Every structure is written in structure tokens, then in C-alpha cells.
A = this chain, B = another copy of it.
């Protein structure tokens, strides 16, 4: 089954935006055996949009459009689809009523232009949008399905999940694509690939062949394992075996085999050990606390965080002695250790983390260039401290600092 994904909106054709909706849509479609053969971004222009839609209908089994369902004159997806199918647009008063209620719940009157969002090409079925005003639409045209979804990801995603579950998957009947994502941190891409490549190269000729892609993102390497199998059970058996082979070779460098982020993995380890954590951050500026608390339920183990950005705050909040800072510099292993120990002791937690470094662009010296970050982790009686040479701009240094701190903690927790 061939699918085409179209993102509608002139703002998506500027140098500032990429269409990431299509990645999510592709992933779901692959699991039910659809092959995405074309994706495109089209301007807010009725003729051009109609031209692309009509081209896709010549070969696609499924056409997914995102965006262009808002209330303004620019929002032309409904109009273009109606024109290509040669059907009129009707106002569905039930949709208008629902949008009006949505505004009313926030104590607001619905602006008149929002009536446009109630217009549907005749014959279309409405797809509920729990997170916004624009409803989606489903149109079946002979054997071709056309799905219209709003552009904002938080609206689009649950709606497309429902479309796959309720409308596409039950009729797909084909083999799906199944994936595993292994996440690795603390190693370089070439280093990981030199070790993994001789292993995964053999998988491609197996009875259930597995193809492997290696992907380096900031502070992390991912190995994507993909297999086409007639059933979830056969895919699982093949993928489980493959994951085991890589784990035997790479050991604890693999922190996740189920898509979980590092902050969730660390959270699970803390929770399983009934441990609590407090962090003291300088250059990472609160990003470690923020990432740890991105995990639902993290209030069970995150006790507090201190962003000791000024030297004064390091002394007042953590009792880091001015003499220690004067002797070693604020960016030093002794100061990182003092921060980790003090925040742990004062918070009464099992774990304390201290991060101090130079995020840049200013503040670097020949001995301590921008990107130099000292990280200390204390877990009950155990303590580790390291100095890292991170690369890139300010936000990249901040992110790598939090990644390294969580990985140090993870490796220490695995030994307890």
C-alpha cells in the first residue's frame, strides 16, 4: 500500500521550518505495512495545492494532509480537496456548535471567522480533535482514503493515532514494519559502529532479516533496527535476539532498548532503589532539574534543585567556601564535589549532583576553554568526579552536561 504525505502551509516553505509531522505519520504507517513513497510541502495556494493533490490521487492508496485547516483565508486544504474531488463544501453546524462551546468554556465568544472550520467537502466524515478547534476529516474515494489533519503536532498526533487504530489497521492485512531503537551515550559514533557493524551486518541475510541504521544525535548514538515480519510475535523474536547480541557487545553503554529517554531510565533506577535526588547546577542553569522533572511522577524522587549561578549563591546556598573557589576556580572538580556533597547533605537525599562549567560563548581561557564542564555525583557512600571537554554552542554544552551527569549517575546506580 502506497502512501503520500502532504504538509500544507507557506510558512513551511521558509528557511526556518521543517515538517516533522511526517516523521510521526511515517512511523505509524510503516507499522501497518504502508510504504510512504512521497512527501511534500505545498504553499497556501489553491491551484498549486489542488495540482499536487490530484497528482497524488493518481497513484496513492492513502493521502494524508496536515495543516491548512485553521479559520483564516490562508487555510485552503478543505477547498483544494473539494475542488479536486468535484464536490461542494457544506457548513456542518454540529462542528460550529462544538467550536462555539470550546470558546465558551474559556469564557470567550467564537469569532465569526471560525465558522470556516465547520466547512466540509460533501461526503467527508468528521474526525474529533480533542486538543483544538479544527476538526479532522476522512474521505473515502473508491479505494483511496484521504485524511485531513490540523498542523499543530499535539492536535495531529492523537487524531492520527485514532485513524490508524480505528480505520486503517483493521483493513491493512499486510506485514508490518517493526522497529527497536537502542540508545547509547558516552561513546562516539565511529567507536560504536566499529563494534556493532560486524554484528548487525549478518542480520540482513537471516530468515527474518533486520536492517540497521546508526544515527548520531547530540550526546547520544541511536541504533535503529527494522524488520518486516508477518506478525508481531515473529518480529519480537528476531528483534529480541538482535538486541541481546548488541547488549553482549556494548554492555552498559546501551541505556535504553525501548525508546525511553535517559531521564526516565535514571528515574526508574532511583524509584526501584527508593532513592531521592537533589542537584546543584551552575553552567547547566536548571536544565538537569528540568529534564529530571519532565518524567511523570518524578516528584517521588526529585527533592530539590539549586541553580547556583553566582559565586555568592554557591556560598550562601551550599556553603562552598570562597577560598576553595579562589584556589581552584568556580569551574573545578573540587567545587563540583563540594556542590554535590552539600546539596545532598542539606536536602537529606541519597543522591547529590554538582555541575559547574563554561557554557560559552564567553568565559573560556586557554586552560579551561568553552565547553569545559566538571561534574560530581555522590550516591550514598560512593563518589565520582569527572571533567568533560564538550563542543558546540551554549545550549549544546548545557545539554551534554545534563546527559553526562545522568549517565554517570546511571552507571553508579547499576552497581548498587
Contact = CB atoms under 8 A, between A and B. Distances in A.
Given A304-B306, A304-B313, A304-B317, A13 B40 contact: no
Contact of A395 (B217, B294, B310): B294
Interface stretch (A18-26, A138-146, A403-411): A18-26
Nearest to A154: B392
A330 to B, nearest CB: 10
Nearest to A301: B309
B290 A286 contact: yes
Interface in A279-308: 279, 281, 284-290, 292-294, 296-299, 302-308
A38 B43 CA distance: 7
29 contacts: A11-B224, A13-B38, A13-B39, A14-B30, A15-B23, A16-B215, A18-B18, A18-B19, A18-B20, A37-B43, A40-B41, A51-B55, A71-B190, A71-B193, A72-B214, A74-B214, A111-B194, A113-B193, A279-B307, A287-B290, A298-B309, A299-B310, A303-B312, A304-B306, A304-B313, A305-B305, A305-B307, A305-B309, A306-B307
A288 B362 CA distance: 22
Given A111-B190, A304-B309, 19 more contacts: A13-B37, A16-B215, A18-B19, A37-B42, A37-B43, A51-B59, A73-B197, A113-B190, A152-B216, A285-B290, A293-B307, A294-B395, A294-B398, A296-B394, A299-B309, A299-B310, A303-B310, A303-B313, A305-B309
A24 B18 contact: no
A174 interface: no
Interface of A is mostly: mixed
Contacts of A176: none
A306 B316 CA distance: 13
A70 interface: yes
A16 B213 contact: yes
Contact of A15 (B15, B24, B306): B24
A51 to B, nearest CB: 7
A172 interface: no
A310 B362 CA distance: 35
Nearest to A310: B303
Interface string A146-173: 0000001010000000000000000000
A281 B74 CA distance: 40
Contacts of A61: none
A382 interface: no
A396 interface: yes
Interface in A377-416: 389, 391-396, 398
A251 B55 CA distance: 45
Interface in A26-58: 26-27, 30, 36-45, 48, 51-52, 55
Nearest to A39: B41
A294 B285 CA distance: 8
A131 B393 CA distance: 11
A92 interface: no
Contacts of A190: 71, 111, 113-114
Interface in A351-393: 359-362, 389, 391-393
A16 B23 contact: yes
Contacts of A310: 299, 302-304
A347 interface: yes
A290 B14 contact: no
